[in-house]
Structure 1
């Protein structure tokens, strides 16, 4: 019996020592917060915010309250945690009304297991939970960013396809989208960008595509002397030849073949004494890139009855058509 009682007392003592409480009292002159964790490894505990009368205004339970070892202070009944060194509670003016609001971490529920928060907006008598702001701190990647100067709230989203940033304005504690920027990398090496901007009446959308081939993929590139556009030939995955025409701002004006095309006519490389000639056809339009024996490059495009002949500039030129003679590609035929 004595052994049993001693064992129970020992277990109770260990449990009491495992429980920890931490005080945060430097984030506000009006409020303090306490963090309670049941033990160092379970993550079970709660965060509470108290007013000057020590009445709890908010108490949020969590199963993911993990305290860094540096915060452990043996022998202290309540360890103090500097506000600037912790991430369980964030105090800032989220709705731009001049009063600091609170975001309290409730776990890791946002994208890719990032931290998530419950958001409480300040009122004349305390705090009120806000669903719209909480959704921003749950449905995106971590806590939203606050731009006090521009009075904007921004959130980030990420995935295997790329990323997205959305900015909101705040009116009467309601959130309104003012811009959205998206980057889609799912068709590498082509990256598609889209932007939505509020013009005072509606969101106006623009979309463009840019090309980022690796150094190993790029075979030849040169600018056209007549209009400053750039021609790029590259081999995607070292198996498929692509042609791209880029505008002066480097956005893609035209590319061949389309990445999602089920079938496309192959390229044909003609090797003659006068030089090399790479040809392909897209619908009724026919294209030819020529490289003379002396290395001069040019492009000819025949679209219906119209023919365009454009000269390749020497400045900024990279590579040559000649590697195509010895590089086996699925959609390239070499002819004498």
Structure 2
């Protein structure tokens, strides 16, 4: 992503890596002499028995940062990491007061995707039972969200990781960490209609993408899904549609014309789309996870007296009413009964559509 490339350029310009005699890796910034002489700093709240961290306000000559985050060995006083950052200190202090931290800056908060994120995150990112560090560098995430530089714990030091840093740049919030499956995940978006969710496994201390799901709203108000999954070393691509999540609540308007859930938790919805110059009805039947198994957009018949909608998807005849769905096969008839109180909407509303014949 372009934001990832930009963050790397700024990162490399802002500081260079040097190794000091003790074997710790330290990042030294190109600070002005005035800033280096300043003793003003803010303490980050306790996050480890082994390390502490402070934020030092600076006046960076190139204007790319306004602070330095330092991570310090609690026993030796040795600076482990010194990283330039662009931070809103007043905002961080206001958050600290709300959390009753006095003048300390909060740590280890990552409320995905758009919630509060701390300046420092201390957790095991690569599943080696050693806690790693992520330090905020600015707001290079999606829509100006937080971004981080990531350091993996190795023996007695922290090593900067380009691969893990990529997952903390340009996405919405910090990457998710699933301890049970030992996977990481990210999300990014463009407007309200398109989202991308990615899942990674850690191989040789590098995050490797194993699954990508792109979802986009289509003209049927369904989600068009492109799923790429790594199988035997190659990404296999599959396209399908999903029902969007719906939770029945008073403040949530009912999104369909008609809906019911059958005994095996599969769902049927009737809704409309603009097609061939008019609003037309469509039928969608989805599995328990919302994945569309059958989509029909052709001609319908509605019996107002029996309040029954029917259509033929050759050679199968479907009939829908408040008693459920009748599926008439050439040699068999199957009755799919609705779960109690699962029928929502009214079939009488289908009469308005051009592809519905009314009897």
Q: Shared fold (TM-score greater than 0.5)? A: yes
Which of the two has higher C-alpha Rg?
1
The two structures, once aligned, show a CA RMSD in angstroms of 4.1
**What is the rounded CA distance, in whole Å, between the counterparts of 2:317 and 2:357 in structure 1?**
23
Q: Which moved more, 1:91-100 or 1:132-141?
A: 91-100
| Cα deviations by residue, 1:107-149 (Å, 9 ceiling, x for unpaired) | 1101011100001111224111111100110021121122223
Is 1:247 the counterpart of 2:285? The answer is: yes
Q: Of 41, 49, 66, which aligns to 1:21?
A: 41
Counterpart position of 1:34: 54
Q: Is the 8 A contact 2:269 2:285 kept in 1?
A: no
Q: Is the 8 A contact 1:219 1:321 kept in 2?
A: no
The residue correspondences of 1:194-209 to structure 2 (distance < 5 A) are 194-209=226-241
Relative distance call for 1:121 and 1:190 in structure 2 (3 A) is same
Q: Of 65, 87, 108, which aligns to 1:64?
A: 87
Q: Is the 8 A contact 1:165 1:181 kept in 2?
A: yes
Q: Of 319, 323, 334, which aligns to 1:311?
A: 319
**What is the rounded CA distance, in whole Å, between the counterparts of 1:25 and 1:231 in structure 2?**
51
Structure 2 unmatched runs, 5+? 1-34, 110-116, 247-251, 325-342
**What is the rounded CA distance, in whole Å, between the counterparts of 2:211 and 2:89 in structure 1?**
36
Q: Is the 8 A contact 1:300 1:309 kept in 2?
A: yes
Secondary structure of the residue that 1:133 maps to in structure 2?
helix
User: How far apart are 1:231 and its partner, in Å?
Assistant: 6.8
Structure 1 unmatched runs, 5+? 1-14, 257-279, 281-286
The residue correspondences of 1:269-284 to structure 2 (distance < 5 A) are none
Q: Of 142, 164, 172, which aligns to 1:141?
A: 172
The residue correspondences of 1:138-217 to structure 2 (distance < 5 A) are 138-160=169-191, 161-187=193-219, 189-211=221-243
TM-score of the superposed pair, with normalisation by structure 1: 0.65
Number of aligned residue pairs: 273
Counterpart position of 2:332: none
Counterpart position of 2:28: none
Q: Of 285, 289, 296, which aligns to 2:301?
A: 289
TM-score of the superposed pair, with normalisation by structure 2: 0.61
Secondary structure of the residue that 2:169 maps to in structure 1?
helix
Q: Is the 8 A contact 2:134 2:151 kept in 1?
A: yes
